[in-house]
Amino acid sequence: MVVDRADINSVLEQMRALKAQAQQGVRQIEMPQPVAPERVQSGGFADLMKMAIDNVNEQQMSAKKLAEAYELGDPSVDLPQVMIQAQKASVSFQAMTQVRNRLVSAYEDIMNMSI
């Protein structure tokens, strides 16, 4: 499932704006309006994150199945195919870890703001 990058970029832009305002000592923070509210589903950010996590899980499961098929001697699976899928799973997991780290950092920044 493809995640809409515009929604992620919008959230990241909002986080950057909040961080910039916090660093400047702004007392009142106004939340920017979403660029395209009709594109955001009813669940919003939580659903977007769930879809991204599910996508990472699917990549990892696919890599595991291909590796097991190769180990069992399935003639339709070759080593380059297994290695490519393993790398895709690894890159998607690393990207998700970076997103999580940035979200935790943004959360900590928001919690440390003095209003």
Sign of CA dihedral 59, 65, 66, 67: positive
The reported pTM is 0.56
Spell out the per-residue pLDDT of the chain, length 115, in tens. 444 555 666 667 776 776 666 666 544 434 444 444 444 455 677 888 888 899 999 999 999 999 999 999 999 999 999 999 999 999 999 999 999 899 899 989 998 887 6
**Structural domains counted in the chain:** 1
Residue of 35, 46, 43 whose CA lies nearest to 7: 35
Instruction: Identify the domain containing residue 42 by its residue range.
Output: 5-111
